[in-house]
Structure 1
Amino acid sequence: MTPSLDTMRRWRSSKYGAVGVYYGGRGRACPHQPRLGHRWMKEVQRLGWRVLPVYVGSQSPCAVAGLKKTYRIGRHAWRQGAQEGRAAVRRARAVGIRAGSPLYLDMEAYKYRQKKCARTTLTFVRGWDRQVRGKGYVPGFYSSADSGVAHMRAAARAGARDLPSVIWFARWHTRPRLAREPVLRGSAWSSRRRIHQYAGNVKERHGGRTLVIDRNLVHAPVARIR
């Protein structure tokens, strides 16, 4: 659930400067977020927060988490990815996120070494990316380092087109680092287009308010709020 503006104000006393916002998608855990809208976006920006917009759409057919299998990609992966890419842009515009902003597609861990599943998932991601990029936004991609991110790296090596422009990789229980991620060695996605999620489900209290958060190191584009 999106925190209240008062909580966001109080948390300015923390060391953090950016907030991830699950702004849309049929697979997000909290589909009803009454606080989240254009006003909320403008106010958190005014408070000094940078916003990372996350879209949790359809998930891989070989997703690891059982709950995510409810939202699996269907038979027409490219068409579905394109439709959800357009939906991601419409929703972004509705909450005041301008063109030129990144939109991060959340694809939870999946068994990417299963070839049929990998093809379906990659086709969906490419369709989503093409639509988002074509509408003037920057397609980003969030997943675990050893599943979705490894898959995108393999696709890049194979010469696939319409891949994400920014990578947000989850590798917990390690030091925060952008340049030394083993899966991203070499030229794939410069360290200026990466986010490292290095811890998750951490309870913290700032300004008298407690939240459960994921910790991230960010060197990547953030939302432009109109």
Structure 2
Amino acid sequence: MRSIRSSRSALAAALLLCGSAAYAVPAGNGIMQGKGFDACTAPSISTMQKWWTNTPWSWIGIYIGGSVRACSQPNLTANWMNKTYAQGWRYELIWVGPQAPCTSYRHRISYNKTTAYQQGKAEAISAYKALQALGFGTAKGTPVTYDMEAYPNNSSCRAAVKSFMQGWVDQLAVAPAQVAGVYGSGCGTYLSDFATMARPPRFINAADWDRDPSTWHLSCISGGHWTHNQRFKQYRGDHNETWGGVTLNIDSNCANGPTAAGGHLFPNSSCIAP
């Protein structure tokens, strides 16, 4: 871990020396193979620096918008993106819009599959506008994850969610095309349903809180799906961790997939262990 930390610090220093950039981060993506975390509210820039210096994390999941986003985001601006990118961070950008029709969320998608498809497209447009507001511009290739929480095993509900997700994927593929992903419980969101879509999500983040960081060990998901650097795993849920004297409430994640604004490769990471 010490050698990894040294290389990370050198990278951050090099990026800071380039400091002529405006409030923007590079569009596009790179493959991340390593550990990350998500927090309901984006931490302050100073906290992000302390956690970069003192933790094993290399990327953060941030909730960029949506009608079901649970927390306010006072820190999340184009300036925050610019400064944390210069520190070395990379990102999973998460959109939390309407949820399955068979849940009790205030904002839900329609049971009607045609309507659900159009709703998925509308959410993709809103997410793209949020990317622009955060400084990603109009370039292509930035990964965006839709957060679809678990829901009851109901056939018409599952069909509606599948149609909704097809709309999400299809709209994000419109030029300038971005990279559509989905987060959910490996079992409770029935992520395997999405593998059989006509145009599946490009990557998944499966919640499977078994504390095993390997992205290849995902409950209810076939090892034959999303095999080419297309997997994230949320392997530990809601808990507190303290690094650099700062405590945050986080979920722990591992990546072997695309993160926004580039990636970092740690070939010996437990995230990619078979």
- TM above 0.5: yes
1:109: which partner in 2?
150
Instruction: Give 1:21's aligned amino acid.
Output: I
Change (3 A) 1:186 1:200: closer
Matched, 1:79 2:118: yes
**Residue of 157, 162, 183 corresponding to 1:142:** 183
Normalising to structure 2: TM-score of the pair? 0.74
Higher RCO by CA contacts (8 Å cutoff, separation 6 or greater) = 2
Instruction: Give 2:108's aligned amino acid.
Output: R
1:46: which partner in 2?
86
Change (3 A) 1:201 1:108: same
Give how far 1:78 is off. Answer: 1.2
Instruction: Give 2:107's aligned amino acid.
Output: Y
1:91: which partner in 2?
130
**Residue of 222, 232, 237 corresponding to 1:200:** 237
Give how far 1:178 is off. Answer: 1.4
- Whole-Å separation in 1 of the counterparts to 2:224 and 2:148: 22
Give how far 1:152 is off. Answer: 3.7
Given that 1:99 and 1:224 are in contact with CA atoms closer than 8 Å, whether structure 2 keeps it comes out as no
Give how far 1:73 is off. Answer: 0.7
2:26: which partner in 1?
none
Matched, 1:125 2:165: yes
Instruction: Give 2:251's aligned amino acid.
Output: D
SS in 1 for 2:101: coil
- Whole-Å separation in 2 of the counterparts to 1:214 and 1:33: 17
- Whole-Å separation in 2 of the counterparts to 1:55 and 1:191: 23
Instruction: Give 1:53's aligned amino acid.
Output: L
Coordinate RMSD, CA, aligned: 1.6
- Name stretches of at least 5 consecutive residues in structure 2 with no aligned partner: 1-40, 263-274
Matched, 1:164 2:204: no
- Kindly name which structure, 1 or 2, has the bigger radius of gyration based on alpha carbons: 2
- Whole-Å separation in 1 of the counterparts to 2:42 and 2:216: 31
- Whole-Å separation in 1 of the counterparts to 2:234 and 2:184: 10
Given that 2:185 and 2:191 are in contact with CA atoms closer than 8 Å, whether structure 1 keeps it comes out as no
- Name stretches of at least 5 consecutive residues in structure 1 with no aligned partner: none
Given that 1:201 and 1:213 are in contact with CA atoms closer than 8 Å, whether structure 2 keeps it comes out as yes
Give how far 1:182 is off. Answer: 4.2
Normalising to structure 1: TM-score of the pair? 0.89
- Whole-Å separation in 1 of the counterparts to 2:251 and 2:228: 20
2:31: which partner in 1?
none
1:188: which partner in 2?
225
Given that 1:178 and 1:194 are in contact with CA atoms closer than 8 Å, whether structure 2 keeps it comes out as yes
Give the structure with the higher percent helix: 1
SS in 1 for 2:64: strand
Query: Deviations 1:87-130 (Å, cap 9, x if unpaired)?
Result: 1111111102352111000000112x311111111111110111
Query: Deviations 1:33-52 (Å, cap 9, x if unpaired)?
Result: 22211111111110011111
